[in-house]
Amino acid sequence: MSLLQQILEIEPKAKLLEPDAHTRQNWLNRVSHYAHQFIDELPANPAYRPAQNLDAYFSISQQAVATDEILQHLQSGMLAQGLNPASGGHLGYIPGGGLYAGALGDYLAAVTNQYAGMYYAGPGAVKMENELIRWLCRMMGYPPTAHGNLTSGGSIANLIALVTAREAFELRSADIPRQVLYFTDQVHHSMHKAVRIAGLAEAQSRCVPMTKNFRMDVQALELQIQRDVHDGYHPFFIVASAGTTDTGAVDPLLEIAELASNHGVWFHVDAAYGGFFKCLSNDPSSKLLAGIEKSDSLAIDPHKGLFLSYGLGSVLVKNTGALYKAHYYKASYMQDTLEAPGEWNPADLSPELTKHFRGLRLYMALQWHGFEPFKAALQEKLWLCRYFYHEVQRIGFTVGPYPDLSVCIYRFERPGCDLAALNKSIVDHVIKKGRVFLSTTNIGGEYWIRLAVLSFRTHLQEINWCLEDLEEGLAWIMRS
């Protein structure tokens, strides 16, 4: 057979990858039916189910499989197992979201497959993402010259910020052992990972003491910086948390900013969880977040505070030139855009080249809903957490500090008891019941149960369920 004949013969087989309109519509109908059913059944379904043996699922077939079978495997192998992050009963860790409008944005991003890495290839996609980044910058009080990148999440955002600072200070390997990084024991572990990945493991990390509400003790920070300078070290990078994972605590940003500026230290704010509460200007939380605009860089996650599905974080950097210098490759002509009204290439501001067009989900959700419902939902989460803080004491639990944002820690205390074992039993009881999911933590050797309110599907009903189930768990413990 000639090559030409072979090509003609194989073409219909290769073309199976482009289903006809009828098949596309059929698939879409089935998937959409599945998605609607999933959403409609969320309130009746548990927030957590213990994982079963998964060996029977997801063996990868080389042959085409019928739609029914594919969806059935998703249903029983994936969705009927473990934590359901889409559930309003998810009150553990930092809850996720999954706005439907955002999901449709992802659908279109995938179908059109726009190239959101370089302006030249995908000017519309890049322009949209850049406008979203500018919108984030304005919300955080950053100047128009600031820019950033839409990342896969907060971990990569923290890494990009750290690498940018390292390059801004032109640190070379010989300099690293004399550099000092400052954060509290409550800093997110992604920062420790970033330090290692960025080649800074040999720098000095100072764990700054905290005040009793788990915020950074600024006086201790100042003393430590002075001591380090005196000893010939170079204070390099301060990380403040704007909403720690354990307790939602916000470090004193204004005071840290002033110290950082006085000592020429890069000031990074990890606001992956808490940053979006800044838009609630009438809520006390926005006072706590004042000073975020004085940072050199910050991480803020739309897949947390804007309720979008996983895979959308962002890093904002005040000195865009530094971000560019740390991440561009060979496209030195783009430097002109520092002054010229050009558009940044996402590929010059992050380690990624080809990337998911992740801005579209945010754009679609913002345009479809407008911003007001987002603000209402954020406000509601803060109020729900404060409500819980009072109610959980009423049913007999001891609480930690008054919540800065939407995370509350609490536990049942009984003298002479192993508090960890006691509280773990209560949580196990609640999780077994399944209406809500809770997670626990260990702070300074002490066991705490957490409540983290951030799912857009968490309303008063879910918080009341949580209180009821905790009360029931407590009663059950007391009996046994």
Ligand X SMILES: *Cc1c(COP(=O)(O)O)cnc(C)c1O
Q: Which residues bind ligand X (CB under 6 A)?
A: 94, 153-155, 188, 190, 241, 243, 245, 270, 272-273, 301, 313
Q: Give Cβ neighbours of residue 188 (< 8 Å, ≥ 6 apart).
A: 154, 158, 241, 244, 245, 270, 272
Distance in Å, CB of 195 to ligand X, minimum: 13
Contact 411, 438 (CB under 8 A): no
Identify which of residues 272 and 466 has a Cβ nearer to ligand X in the complex. 272
Q: Which residues contact 426 (CB under 8 A, 6 or more apart)?
A: 412, 449, 470, 473, 474, 477
Q: Which is nearer to ligand X, 130 or 241 (CB)?
A: 241
Collapsed DSSP state (helix, strand, coil) of residue 138 = helix
Measured in Å, how far apart are the chain's first and last C-alpha atoms?
80
Q: Which is nearer to ligand X, 87 or 184 (CB)?
A: 184
Min CB(97)–ligand X separation in Å? 12
Q: Minimum distance between the CB of residue 465 and ligand X, rounded to whole angstroms?
A: 24
Q: Which is nearer to ligand X, 188 or 358 (CB)?
A: 188
Q: Which is nearer to ligand X, 276 or 412 (CB)?
A: 276
Q: Give the residue with the Cβ less far from ligand X, 35 or 207.
A: 207
CA distance 334 to 117: 14
By C-beta, is 150 or 470 nearer to ligand X? 150
CA nearest to 283, candidates 200, 203, 355, 376: 376
Residue 28 C-alpha from the chain's centroid? 29
Token pair recorded at residue 460: 């008063």
How many angstroms separate the CA atoms of 367 and 347, rounded?
Answer: 25
DSSP state string for 361-426: HHHHHHHHH-SHHHHHHHHHHHHHHHHHHHHHHHTT-EE-SPPSSSEEEEE---TTS-HHHHHHHH
CA angle 331/299/217 to nearest 5° reads 135
